[in-house]
Amino acid sequence: MDDKKKYRALLLAGLGVVGLVLVFVLQPERGKWWRHSGVVWATEYHIQYYGDRDYSDSILEVFRRVEMSVSAFAHESTVSKINDNRSDSVDAVMAYMIERSHELCRITGGAFDPTVRPLVNAWGFGDDDMALPDTSQVDSLLRLVGIDKVKVVAGKVVKQNPATQLDFSAIAKGFGCDEVVRMLKRNGVEDCLVEVGGEIAMAGRNSERKLWRISIDTPEYSADSVSRASMLAFSMSDCGVATSGNYRNYRTAADGTPYGHIIDPVTGFPRQTDVLSATVCAPDCTTADALATAFMVLGLERSQAIVDANPDVKAVFITADKSGSLKTVFSKNWSEGKR
Ligand code: ADP
Ligand code: MG
């Protein structure tokens, strides 16, 4: 090889090395843990995921889309228009919510039913502040209740009675969590945890490459606040977890008895059962959220029967015995992760 060729070979080799170094140095970072928190639907959200970019704008967009469909607090939402009979158009989120509600109402023997809205308002938990209803008022409102009276036909909602109204508060947060997880997964994210007001949807592993660690609050009534001391912690993933408890949102009757914001759609009355709080783990957070609410209505025995009949659902209940001391009861299939 003459000098010229040697020089050219050396130059090429040198350029190759420089090129490799540049490729190595300039290679974009493959991913990192992102953490976002904020306020949505009058509650806090906390989100973490491993990804190659910031999805906070997309997350807010998901929240906005859910809100504009199912929030009864937004005057221009699809549900508000349906409730006021201003429109019968159904968007994709609403169609899904109504379809799931039929299924969840069936699974819970009618204990979960979003058509309880007129009763929720009558008992003072909606946007109307009125005196407590008597039995005859409850009976007349009960005639409007029943998701079987609401159907979607060719993209339009058909209500048997125009006065029937929908309230998706019991599943909106859980559904919002599911929607954020679905959006992240569509973008290639594998590991994430999305929490909105205590309801959680999760996938993959945490930053230590372990299952996600979830803790459950102890319910405690107090004069002006609610104690939320953590009592139990579990490891899990690829599911949704939701907790319902009347202790977080209750009013006090004239005789001083506290009553909760969960209404039995069968009797039309707020229902206080032996279950103070129900935490449900299900394949998705919408299901977990609906079941947790229904279990407050159903009490321990009937709730346990529903868990037994649905193998992909687990639950842990906090019950109070006659002396008022708290007891934790696990569904038979919840063995893993007990502390
Ligand atoms: P939280 O919002 O405290 O997490 P839930 O998920 O249990 O509680 O939702 C309770 C809300 O759902 C009530 O405030 C009311 O708007 C509505 N609701 C009450 N009873 C029922 C019921 N039996 N089925 C469906 N929704 C209900
Ligand atoms: Mg719920």
Ligand 1 neighbour 169 (Cβ under 6 A): yes
Provide the token pair at 101.
């509600």
- For the stretch 35-45, pLDDT in tens is 999 999 999 99
Supply the pLDDT for residue 20.
61
The segments of the chain whose pLDDT lies below 50 read: 128, 222-223, 337, 339
Supply the pLDDT for residue 228.
56
Mutate to test the pocket of ligand 1, among 106, 112, 116, 169 (most ligand atoms within 8 A of CB): 169
* pTM for the full predicted model: 0.87
What sign for the dihedral angle of Cα 169, 98, 88, 148? negative
Supply the pLDDT for residue 221.
52
Ligand 1 neighbour 94 (Cβ under 6 A): no
- For the stretch 253-298, pLDDT in tens is 656 566 678 999 999 998 888 898 899 999 999 999 999 999 999 9
- For the stretch 77-98, pLDDT in tens is 999 999 999 999 999 999 999 9
How far apart are alpha carbons 268 and 146 in whole angstroms? 11
Checking 52-58 for CB contacts under 8 A at 24+ apart, the result is 52/28, 52/188, 55/183, 55/184, 55/187, 55/189, 58/183, 58/187
Provide the token pair at 63.
């929240």
Where is 320: in which H helix or E strand? Answer: strand 314-320
Cβ count near 168 (within 10 Å) = 27
Strands 314-320 and 326-330: antiparallel
How far apart are alpha carbons 31 and 63 in whole angstroms? 24
Cα(244) to centroid of ligand 1, in Å? 8
Cα(147) to centroid of ligand 1, in Å? 15
What sign for the dihedral angle of Cα 121, 123, 128, 133? positive
